Amino acid sequence: VLSGCGVYDGTEIHEASAILVHLSRGGAEVQMYAPDVPQMHVIDHSKGQPAEAESRNVLVESARIARGKIASLAKLTTADHDAVIFPGGFGAAKNLSTFAVDGKDCKVNGEVERVLKDFHKAGKPIGLCCISPVLAAKVLSGAEVTVGHEEEEGGKWPYAGTAGAIKELGGKHCVKEHLPVFSLTPFYEAHVDTKNKVVTTPAFMCETELHNIFDGIGAMVKNVLKLTGK
């Protein structure tokens, strides 16, 4: 489920691509969706500032990442899919919810809430990375998620305050570390909430090398696929 195209006003493109690569490697058949709604605002990514005169549609912008093969989120049903995955990017906090503006008092897009509740009720796994775990924390009371660490640690975890917000939303935050230093390919762990079948990983919540983020997302995808039982 995408939320636009571009980290500051939509889906984080590297995260979406990593998810798609790992799903492809895992043999999954993928369909992409996005809500057919206006973006909260448009960011000029070269300046990091709002483009005041512009307006864009979340579905239309998400189609850039999907190479045109995308459908309205209203058409997503649990009957047709074994799992659902949400990449991060500020779009999750601006277009899929109002978390970026309202924090713990945020509202979640109606279709996003429906999808999360339907997959949860059906016992089908839900994967989320970066900032998107706030969606599960808001909609699925008591869900265990991770956004990494709970302290900024000198700027390594610049969005660490999100962990506190997750607790205020009714979720349980679980700190995740690097794998042991002797690992040849260190990456951030994915947290698996086996009760709710919710799998999360920090991704760009941490200032680290891209391959670490790629591998952490791989851990999330692998666990989501495992939980499908297929």
* Distance separating alpha carbons of residues 124 and 32, to the nearest angstrom: 17
Structure tokens at 6: 């571009």
Question: Quick one: which of 104, 101, 127 has its CA closest to 30?
Answer: 127
Q: Is 5 in contact with 65 (CB distance < 8 Å)?
A: yes
User: Alpha helices of the chain — where are they, by DSSP H?
Assistant: 13-25, 58-65, 91-94, 99-102, 110-121, 133-139, 161-168, 210-228
* Distance separating alpha carbons of residues 60 and 2, to the nearest angstrom: 11
CA atoms within 13 A on the CB side of 195: 7
Question: Quick one: which of 186, 125, 88 has its CA closest to 176?
Answer: 186
* Distance separating alpha carbons of residues 18 and 84, to the nearest angstrom: 15
Token pair 């500051």 in the structure block, residue: 8
Structure tokens at 128: 């989320």
Tell me, yes or no, if 206 is annotated catalytic.
Answer: no
Q: Is 34 in contact with 1 (CB distance < 8 Å)?
A: yes
* Distance separating alpha carbons of residues 117 and 1, to the nearest angstrom: 14
Other CB atoms within a 10 A radius of the CB of residue 29 amount to: 8
Active-site entry in 5, 106, 129, 130: 130
Q: Which residues are catalytic?
A: 130
